Amino acid sequence: MGSSFRRIAFVAAVLFATAAAACGTTARTATRTDRDALRVPPRITEATYGELRRSFFSTPVDAEGRDRLRRALFAYLAQQHAATFDTTAEVPEERQNEAYDRAVAAFAEMTELLAPEDFVPERMPRELAAGARFIATRGERRGDEGRVLAALYVLALIGGEDGARARAEYQRLDQWGRNARRALPGLTRPFDSAISVWREHARLTPGLDVLRNLEALFVGRRDRLIQVFGPDGTGRPPPGSMTFEEYQMATRAMALAAYDVASVYLAVGDLTTALARVEALGVGLGADFRLTQALRAARDGGDTGEEALLAIAQAFGRDRPEVARGVCRRARVDHPERAAFAQCLGRLAALGDDLATAMAEYEAAIRIAPDDRELMDEAIRIAAAAIDPGRDGENPTLARRAYRRATTLIEQRRERFPRSAPPVEPAAIELAMGVAEMNAGFVEPARERLEASLRIRRTAMGLLQLGMLSERTGDAARARALYREALDSTPEASREEANARAELLEHLADASRRAGDPQFARRMYTQALELWSAAARNARGEALAAALVRRGVLLDRLGDHPQAAEAFRQATLADPGRRFTYAGILSHLVAQPEADVALAVETFRRATTQMTLEPEWKVYLALWTLAIQRRAGVTDDPEALTTLREHVQGDAWSARLARFGTGDSTGAQLLGAASTRGHRCEALFYDALFRYAAGERGPAREGFVQALGIGMVNFFEHGMALELVELIPGADQGQPAAATTVPTH
């Protein structure tokens, strides 16, 4: 299980630095385009899928090869999502919502390849059937009306025996919804409820009849409001007929009726119908008039029309990004020479946290306008944001791609604009990539990137990260030197800087202890304790809990376990919903020479009373609690065993760990099921931990050493193994390598 670590500062802020504008109006023109004739490879792979999908949306609907590419994309996605749509798979109850949401997202990824004209029997891909059946079955239990309607709609179009049943069920559900909403109180609630359902129906399956039904609901709501407020919206409802909030919502809905109607068709790139339906409403004043003028300008084309398209996309960008996406996709097809539309799609993808797509769109935009510095700077910021050390954990594929893209862009920028600095410092990019490699367990690539960062600029964060990597891979001497340098460059002027110094002092003490200098380590632990104690006096909530956990660990290092236990108890009360509080305490207790069973059980039970604690965390905390108890030779905590038994079903990694904890599988079986480096580290560690608890010290030490060799340096399991291996003498040792407390003299 990955442990908590500090995120690189620029990552949190860089993503929205430029994307906040959604789809800006700074259109750019060049003489080249990124469109080539569509070539469909014999086989689509994970590496080629993203670019092929982007190419599909970039070409006209009548382009040669487009239908063939769509069929290939559907075949690829059907294979990729087969397990997601498996209605026979056993899914633990606490994961069913997650599985359902994942299936809906996969279904949407497939149906997005269809235009409204494709929702006819002869063009409906059969690959959609599995996803539609899954949603129809699971969604009905949830009362998820809009998504179930969409699933039944697809099954009815696919036809056959399932199609006839689906058509009848679709009609029944549609009529049930209409009847149920007639009884809803309020001026517009029947319309509001229906619009919510049909918006989702149209998002997933935008057939022409579905779009017309959604439009009719928006128009019906507007007409109902006109009856009360008058055509100009200045009337007043009868006294007591609605609350002030309902009044505000009603007047807003009336004012935005034209935008709502237009959005139905703009989301699928149909500007012609959007304009026709808005004009049919009657052109009003203000926003209605501006929208109509923009749609007319877009229809008429030319430079003004292109600017109008960007303005329309910007109007919808933040509140209705799917509408802005539809506009910019259509505009890119019609105006392939304009970089602004690829840039618009890149911004929208970034706002949706789809950074892989965002990078591809910016790359396309730069191919069109390679000399646009602002565009290049945005692309660098997006690529830098994608090198997020906390994003993909064990899989650094996106981060590596983003790193290559960011460094290439910075080099290109340096050649084209040598007199200005890039928007993201190269040292920060190297640092983020180094931490991402650390999180994934790739030690040498991590070391290379961190050292590259420090060659550019020696920052306290870079020194800390390389120090942690060195310490956790056995080079305590180098870690000490790096921590000392980081400490010298970290002042104590603010609360944040004081906390950073406390963290560095503790790391320096740990490295000194491992390097065989316990007296110096004790001084550093004492100084760190003073800083964390001061921090705790001025903190609340999460910050207080974090400070108290560190204070407890340091008190244990200094040999005062009673005070440490009290600090840990206070931490669980300071912010009861913070999972890392419980993980920090229990993982520390696992690696202590003397097992504090009472504190472990108390901490575990407090943790499991929290409704927000994820199922996998319950499994990890239960395993740690049982290991502490078994080491002490006491009876297993029944609540910990019950927790594990509640999570043994399924093939998820946490279920496999739970089965190991209950004794229903062996360490060898757990290791055999490990599919990632992280899983392998955990399998080796937990087998060793339970062997250690059973008194098998030799095999336990060997297992801990093997777990450390995987390189998952930011995992809790790596940290615990590093401490535990020092408690067990090696084959050529008479004493432990180091103690976890330091002497007073």
Q: What is the mean pLDDT of residues 83-94?
A: 86
Q: Are 213 and 198 in contact (CB under 8 A)?
A: yes
For the stretch 364-415, pLDDT in tens is 999 999 999 999 999 999 999 999 877 777 789 999 999 999 999 999 999 9
| Torsion angle (degrees, nearest 10) of CA 551, 553, 554, 556 | 120
The answer on pLDDT for 705 being more than 70 is yes
Q: Six-digit token pair at 235? A: 């009337």
Q: How far apart are CA 484 and CA 201, in angstroms?
A: 60
Q: What is the mean pLDDT of residues 237-258?
A: 78
Q: How many Å apart are CA 107 and CA 96, to the nearest integer?
A: 16
The confidence band for 10, taking pLDDT boundaries of 50, 70 and 90, is: very low
pLDDT in tens, 321-348: 999 999 999 999 999 999 999 999 999 9
Dihedral of alpha carbons 276, 278, 283, 289, sign: negative
Residue 502 to residue 525: CA distance in whole angstroms: 9
Going from the C-alpha of 703 to that of each of 300, 655, 693, 736, the distances in angstroms are: 72, 21, 13, 16
The residues, any chain, with a CB within 8 Å of residue 220's CB and separated by 6 or more, are 191
pLDDT surpasses 60 at 289: yes
Asked whether 67 and 59 are in contact (CB, 8 A), the reply is: no
**Which of 13-17, 456-460, 525-529, 730-734 has the least mean pLDDT?**
13-17
Separation of alpha carbons 154 and 133, rounded Å: 9
Whole-number pLDDT of residue 174 = 96
Residue 145 scores a pLDDT above 90: yes
Residue 736 reports pLDDT greater than 90: no
Q: What percent of the chain has pLDDT over 90?
A: 76
Contacts of 129-133 spanning 24+ positions with Cβ under 8 A: 129/154, 129/155, 129/158, 129/162, 130/78, 130/81, 130/82, 130/85, 130/86, 131/81, 131/84, 131/85, 131/103, 131/106, 131/107, 132/107, 132/158, 133/85, 133/87, 133/162
Range with the lowest mean pLDDT among 9-23, 634-648, 678-692?
9-23
pLDDT for 238 beyond 80: no
Concatenating the DSSP letter of every residue in 112-163 gives: TT--GGG-SGGG--GGGHHHHHHHHHHHHHHT-HHHHHHHHHHHHHH-HHHH
Per-residue pLDDT, averaged over 648-672, amounts to 94
Reported confidence tier of residue 18, pLDDT bands at 50, 70, 90? very low
Q: How long is the chain?
A: 745
Structure confidence at residue 594 (pLDDT): 92
Residue 20's pLDDT is 40
**Contact between 743 and 518 (Cβ < 8 Å):** yes
Listed range (22-31, 165-174, 185-194, 312-321) with the worst mean pLDDT: 22-31
321 Ramachandran zone, left/alpha/beta (phi>0; psi -120 to 50): alpha
C-alpha to C-alpha distance for 155 and 566, rounded to whole angstroms: 61
pLDDT at 287 over 80: no
Residue 742 has pLDDT above 50, yes or no: no
Task: Report the greatest alpha carbon distance in the chain.
Answer: 92
pLDDT score of 491: 86
Q: How many CA atoms lie within 13 A of 482 on its CB side?
A: 25
Q: How far apart are CA 429 and CA 603, in angstroms?
A: 39
Higher pLDDT, 656 or 232: 656
The model's pLDDT over 569-620, given as tens digits with 9 standing for 90+, comes to 999 999 999 999 999 999 999 999 999 999 999 999 999 999 889 999 999 9
Task: Give the distance, in angstroms, between the CA of residue 205 and the centroid of all CA atoms in the same chain.
Answer: 25
- pLDDT score recorded for residue 37: 61
Closest CA to 264 of 306, 301, 222, 219: 219
For 502, other C-beta atoms within 10 Å of its C-beta total 24
Residue 183 — pLDDT band, cuts 50, 70, 90? confident
Query: How large is the C-alpha radius of gyration of the chain?
Result: 30
Cα separation, 559 vs 418, whole angstroms: 57
Task: Give 490-510 pLDDT, tens digit per residue.
Answer: 987 788 889 999 999 999 999
Encoded tokens for 118? 């494709």
Residues whose CB falls within 8 Å of the CB of residue 207, separated by 6 or more in sequence, listed in order: 116, 119, 153, 157
Distance CA 653, CA 736 (A): 33
What is the amino acid identity at position 74? Answer: F
Confidence category of residue 233, pLDDT binned at 50, 70, 90: low
Q: What is the reported pLDDT for 391?
A: 74
Q: List, for residues 120-138, the tens digit of each pLDDT value.
A: 999 999 999 999 999 999 9
Residue 517: which residues within 8 A CB-CB, separation 6 or more? Answer: none
- Residue 29 has φ and ψ, to the nearest 5°, of -125, 145
Sign of dihedral through CA atoms 60, 62, 67, 69? negative
pLDDT tier at 245, thresholds 50, 70, 90: confident
User: Binning pLDDT at 50, 70 and 90, where does residue 283 land?
Assistant: low
pLDDT above 90 (res 34): no
- Which pLDDT value is given to residue 39? 80
Least Cα distance to 115 among 206, 224, 229 occurs for: 206
- Coil, helix or strand at residue 536: helix
C-beta atoms surrounding 560 within 10 Å: 16
* pLDDT over 60 at 235, yes or no: yes
pLDDT tens by residue, 388-397: 877 777 789 9
- Split at pLDDT 50, 70, 90, the class of 152 is very high
Query: pLDDT confidence of 4, banded at 50, 70, 90?
Result: very low
- Reference 726, options 439, 443, 471; nearest CA is 471
Query: Over the chain, what is the mean pLDDT?
Result: 90
Question: How does DSSP assign 652-668, residue by residue?
Answer: SHHHHHHHHHHTSS-HH
Can you tell me the distance from the alpha carbon of 81 to that of 615, in angstroms, rounded to the nearest whole number?
Answer: 24
The answer to whether residues 326 and 34 touch, using CB atoms and an 8 Å cutoff, is no
Does residue 6 register a pLDDT over 80? no
Q: Quickly count: other Cβ atoms within 10 Å of residue 182's Cβ.
A: 8
Task: Outline where 185-301 has alpha helix (H).
Answer: 189-204, 208-229, 244-255, 257-266, 271-281, 287-300
For residues 149 and 152, what is the distance between their CA atoms, to the nearest angstrom? 5
Mean local confidence (pLDDT), 268-284: 89
